[in-house]
Structure 1
Amino acid sequence: MSPQLHSTDPDRLSRDALFSMLRNERRREVIIYLRDREEPVDLRELSEHIAAIENDCSPDEVTYKQRKRVQTALYQMHLPKLADRDIVAYDRRAGRVELADGADDCLAYLDAVSEPNPVSWWRRYLVVAAAVAVPVGLAAVGVTPFAAVPGLGYAVVASAAFVTVSVAQALDER
């Protein structure tokens, strides 16, 4: 499902409203956490999860104060905003939260920008550059057998290596 830029459905969020909802990291984390749950979750569990992310620790290590700070913000501001836009269904009395039908639009954008293992292409280019520079350097100082290879040979190998990595990157980013 690809996100549409202009919605013809009056019940769907406009692109600006959607981006406004996704602008806040806590709201994004709420949507991502709920996406992986089939049942409604308790506000305390959700707050603990987000507090753990914000404090770079496990949910078991989250202090009462850290959890309460996140829970208060979710309860007073973020969940009501998400509920008003039909992104989450939020039962304030029971303290239960789950994704609503409007979350599909958000998920399309969140899935597009969240890649679990991004490729560090700069590292690959650096490896190719080092793999070419070492034999060229050894040839320059006259080390056998590197000195026997003509400069054109090294140029062809270097060009082929960089073209290969560039093509791999282009295919990966498609």
Structure 2
Amino acid sequence: MAPQLRPAEPDRLSRDALFSMLRNERRREVINYLRDREGPVDLRELSEHVAAIENDCAPDEVTYKQRKRVQTALYQMHLPKLADRDIVDYDRRAGRVALADGAEACLAYLDAVTDRERGDWWRRYLVVAAAVTVPVALAAAGVPPFAAVPGLGYAVLASGLFAAVSVAQALDER
């Protein structure tokens, strides 16, 4: 019996190659931005968006220098790499970028790690810690009415606040 040849499968990204592509924050932001758009976007618009994230400001507050720095990196390095792996369709001449079929493999990984709201939970825990530390410090210094509350009262308050924030985080991340 002669061996049967299977048709070659199209090149798919290995997991290592995919992680290599997603290792760079700019490339992740490009994919996230494009997934929310119906069609191709202008390179300038995309660069402005990424620059706004990197500089923690609104897109209309991005300076020319900030946008140009990002645009140059996207144009020369990131978009060609993503296009080579069929993650984006990149028309260099027209300066237009859109998601390609290969982007589908990236989306599950991006969904798992890029939820910005989840990254802010440390701030909530810090507020709770401050809300407990200040009254305890005032009580230790003997400042009324804080000194009148027993230590157990502050322990119950701290435990309750941290439990409430933990439950809120667990519900949010479901």
TM > 0.5 fold call: yes
- Matched with 1:104 is 104
Change (3 A) 1:127 1:39: same
**Quick check: 1:34–1:99 contact (8 Å CA) kept in 2?**
yes
State the secondary structure of the residue aligned to 2:101.
coil
Q: Which 10-residue stretch deviates more, 150-159 or 18-27? A: 150-159
Instruction: Write the distance in 1 (CA, Å) between the matches of 2:63 and 2:150.
Output: 62
Gaps of 5+ in 2: 1-8
2:116 match: secondary structure: coil
Residue in structure 2 matched with residue 13 of structure 1 by the alignment: 13
**Which letter maps to 1:101?**
D
Q: Which segment drifts farther, 100-109 or 49-58?
A: 49-58
1:132-151 residue pairs with structure 2 within 5 A? 133=136, 137=139, 147=148
Other-structure match for 1:62: 63
Alignment of 1:1-174 (within 5 A): 11-57=11-57, 58-59=59-60, 61-63=62-64, 65-117=65-117, 118-119=120-121, 120-127=123-130, 129-130=132-133, 133=136, 137=139, 147=148, 159=159, 162-170=162-170, 172=172
TM-score, normalised to structure 2, is 0.66
Deviation at 1:90, TM superposition (A): 1.3
Higher helix share: 2
Question: What is the CA distance between 1:79 and its match in structure 2?
Answer: 1.2
SS at match of 1:38: coil
Higher relative contact order (CA 8 A, sep 6+): 1
Percentage identity across aligned positions?
70
Superposed displacement of residue 51, structure 1: 3.5
Please give the alpha-carbon distance, in whole angstroms, between the structure 2 residues aligned to 1:59 and 1:150.
Answer: 52
C-alpha deviations, 1:56-111, integer Å up to 9, x for none? Answer: 55346432x54444333322221111011111011223222100122122222222
